Structure formats: structure tokens, C-alpha cells
Structure 1
Amino acid sequence: MFVVKSGLIKLTKNSKEGKQHIVRFLFPGDYFGQFALLHNKNNDVTAEIIESGVVCRMHRKDFIPLLEQNAGLAFSFLMSVSEQLHLAEETAGALHMFEVEKRLARLLVYLYTRNLPESALTMQALRHSVDLPSAQKEVAAMIGTTAETLSRKLNKLEALKIIAMHKRTVNILEMETLIQLAEISH
């Protein structure tokens, strides 16, 4: 299992036809490889460094005894894996249920809130910024659309003065409106 201490990692999976699918981006505090670790199997995803940093590795022979000996750690790990599963299910559902604009709004809110305590998501906030984790083509793939459609949707949000773009940085000008568009309860 690998834990991202700093930097940014992109996880991808390749189809038999050679098409690459972005599984997700990993930010500091995120981890991957738990399935391979727990089931003692090889990982079927590829990790690519987007921003250099530090990644910690935990071997099965070291991790399993820790879980067996520490109920608190085992419970925390179970809760974390459960949260990861919930997020994956929510993301998969969003790809089928929501329009691109809503998926984009959800992604922007997620990127903004991922490292904040829930109480920090306030409606009174005037300006927040989010750095898109990679090129528009890859961000578009994350929300199940094309780079051209993503660009149009970002331009629309900018025209509505909900966001302001500067290269890969998205300044969120109207957090309340973005949250409403994303249909996120808080």
C-alpha cells in the first residue's frame, strides 16, 4: 500500500485496446493499493507522478500484524476504506445521473473541500481557489466528458461570474451558487 505524503499522483488503468482511463488523483493523505495489500495480489493500476513529492510504502508483512494487534487502527482503516468506497460509488453514480455542468461543480467543490474540516465550508466565503490537478483533457475524463465540453462549461461558469479562471487555477467567486449547482447538502 502507498500513502501520499506530499505531491500529486494520477492513477490510471489501461484497457485491452490500450485506452487509458483515469481512476482518480491522489493528494497528500490519500492512499492506494489496499486491495492488493489485503488480498496479496498485484495492483492493476498505474501510478504516475504529476507533482513531485513523497510517497510512503507499507508492505503486507508489516501492515497485517499492525491491524491484528490494534483494533483502533483496524477500525480507522476500515472507516477510511469505507469512505473511499462511498466516494467511488458516488462518483460512478454522478457520471450516469448528472449533467456535465453539475459534475464539474461537484468536482470543483470536492477539490476545494477535500482538506478542510466540514465547518470550513461557509456560504459567506468571498473567494476560494482550486488548482486543477492536471490538463483539461484529463480533468474532462475524470467527469466523463471531452476537453472541449469542459472548456465550454468552465467558460459558462466564468461568464456567470461563479468562477474566474487563470491557467489551471479556478477562483471560486460564488461558493453558494457552486454548491447549489452541484446539489451538495452540507
Structure 2
Amino acid sequence: MKCCCHGQTATCIDLVPIFQNLTSEEKQEVAQITSQKSVEKGELIYSMGDEVDSLFVIHSGLVKIYRLSDTGKEQVLRLVKPGDFLGELTLFSHSPMGHYAEALEPCSMCIIEGSQLKALMGKYPTIAFKVLEELSQRLEKTEQLLEDISLHSVERRLAQVLLDLSAGGNEIELEMSKRDLASQMGMSGETLSRKLSSFEAQGLIEQIGQRRMIIKDRAGLEGVLDGE
């Protein structure tokens, strides 16, 4: 990894919700324990089993968090976008990392040394509360994903994801590959392709290229949710 522009430090800190309630002077304290790095597309920020002692704040780019089973099957857990952070569990545990973090595109990030950040969390409890709030939200999303995989059909899960990704509009631009999307949804890439083709044949969606889709019949997609 190589260093990136030092001027990004303050921007990184301003981007992250856990620091938003700090004054400019307090943010400067955070900046003093922060360094900058950049990684290339496909590069691992850390691997499962690594011992990590820093918080990584994404300034630009996209990072995939995933696990690998003993058989090599990949399970995508989440995407980390600008303003998000990773490595936070090292603030509370010295256990090795339980997942991989891979750059899906060139990324720049700020890195905050863990022990120094914990000292600041003691000084400014709002940082600790915000970290715990973020962790609880991630846990809730993980529990929801497990519930969906256990209780709902592939069609219902796919319809819900497409509606969520559309954010109320009709166009969807995937931030990750369909293979990674399938992994995150707990299905194979072949199953996802087959179900997308089925939705397209029903006139619910139109696929344009590898990552773009148009919702043609929102009521029909919502009907998939109601029909289960």
C-alpha cells in the first residue's frame, strides 16, 4: 500500500458519522493519530486470520467484506462505501479477523491506530456510542439477512433486493458483480441469473448489460412479496 494525499485526513474524519459530533478541535486530535493509504482494485486490505489493530475509514472507493468456507465458497457480508469504516471489532477484541476485506475498485482510506483511538473514546464517549450504534445496526442487518435466507423463497428475496436497490425509482445500477450479489443473498450465481431471466420474461424487469436493470413492473415485483 502507498500513502495518499495528506489533505484527505480531515475529509475522512468529516465523512464518518462516529466523529460528526466532535468540535473542530476534537477532530484535529483524531487527525493527529490518522495516516492515509491507498489500495488498488483487487487488493486485500486484510485477510481472515490477520491480527489488525487499526480502524480503516474509506475516503473513496468500494470495499467488499466477505468470508470463505472450508470448501472455498464465498459469502459476501456487506459493502463498505466512502464514509464507512471497517476493522472496528479490533477496538473491543484482540481476536484475529474473521473475514476478508477486498477493494472492488481503487480506494483511498484513513487509518486510525486502535489503541490511540480507544484512548480518545475514553475522552470523548460520543465516539464509543456511535461505534456501538453502528455495530448494532450491522448486527440487525445480518440477522435480517439470515432470517430472509431461512424463511423466504429465492424469488421473494430477489424481488425485495431489487426494490431496495431501486430506492423508489425504476433504474438499478449494481455496485458489485452479480456473482457477489448472489453470494450476499445466499444463492449461487447460476440461480440468480436464472431468476433474473424469469423476472425479465414475466415483464417485471429489463436487464441492460452486466450491472444495469430497469424495473418495468413495480407492482408486479411487490406482488412477489405478497404472494409468498
TM-score when normalising by structure 2 = 0.65
CA apart distance, 1:175: 4.2
Letter of the structure 1 residue corresponding to residue 203 of structure 2: K
Q: 1:146 and 2:188 equivalent? A: yes
Is 1:40–1:60's contact at 8 Å kept on the other side of the alignment?
no
Letter of the structure 2 residue corresponding to residue 102 of structure 1: R
Is 2:74–2:183's contact at 8 Å kept on the other side of the alignment?
no
Q: How does 1:159-170 map to 2 (within 5 A)?
A: 159-167=201-209, 168-170=211-213
* 2:97 paired residue among 23, 27, 43: 43
Q: 1:92 and 2:146 equivalent? A: yes
CA apart distance, 1:145: 1.6
Q: Give 2:155's aligned residue.
A: 101
Is 1:38–1:60's contact at 8 Å kept on the other side of the alignment?
no
Is 1:37–1:59's contact at 8 Å kept on the other side of the alignment?
no
Instruction: Pick the structure with greater CA Rg.
Output: 2
Find the residue that maps to 1:48 and give its secondary structure: strand
Q: How does 1:162-181 map to 2 (within 5 A)?
A: 162-167=204-209, 168-175=211-218, 177-179=220-222, 181=224
Q: Give 1:116's aligned residue.
A: none
Q: Give 1:158's aligned residue.
A: 200
* 2:77 paired residue among 20, 23, 34: 23
In 1: Cα distance, 2:217 partner to 2:116 partner? 47
In 2: Cα distance, 1:174 partner to 1:62 partner? 52
CA apart distance, 1:68: 1.4
Find the residue that maps to 1:51 and give its secondary structure: coil
Is 2:75–2:186's contact at 8 Å kept on the other side of the alignment?
no
Q: How does 1:56-95 map to 2 (within 5 A)?
A: 56-95=110-149
Is 2:65–2:77's contact at 8 Å kept on the other side of the alignment?
yes
In the alignment of these two chains, the number of paired residues is 171
In 2: Cα distance, 1:129 partner to 1:43 partner? 33
Over the matched positions of the two proteins, sequence identity in percent amounts to 29
Q: Give 2:174's aligned residue.
A: 131
* 2:68 paired residue among 14, 32, 50: 14
In 2: Cα distance, 1:111 partner to 1:177 partner? 16
Render the CA deviation track for 1:106-146: whole Å, top value 9, x for unaligned. 32334444xxxxxxx4xxx4x23222511x33322221222
Closer/same/farther in 2, CA of residues 18 and 129 from structure 1, 3 Å limit: closer
Give structure 1 stretches of 5+ with no counterpart. 114-120
Is 1:6–1:54's contact at 8 Å kept on the other side of the alignment?
yes
Is 1:132–1:170's contact at 8 Å kept on the other side of the alignment?
no
CA apart distance, 1:91: 0.6
In 1: Cα distance, 2:189 partner to 2:71 partner? 21
TM-score when normalising by structure 1 = 0.77
Is 2:204–2:217's contact at 8 Å kept on the other side of the alignment?
yes
In 1: Cα distance, 2:65 partner to 2:90 partner? 14
Closer/same/farther in 2, CA of residues 17 and 8 from structure 1, 3 Å limit: same
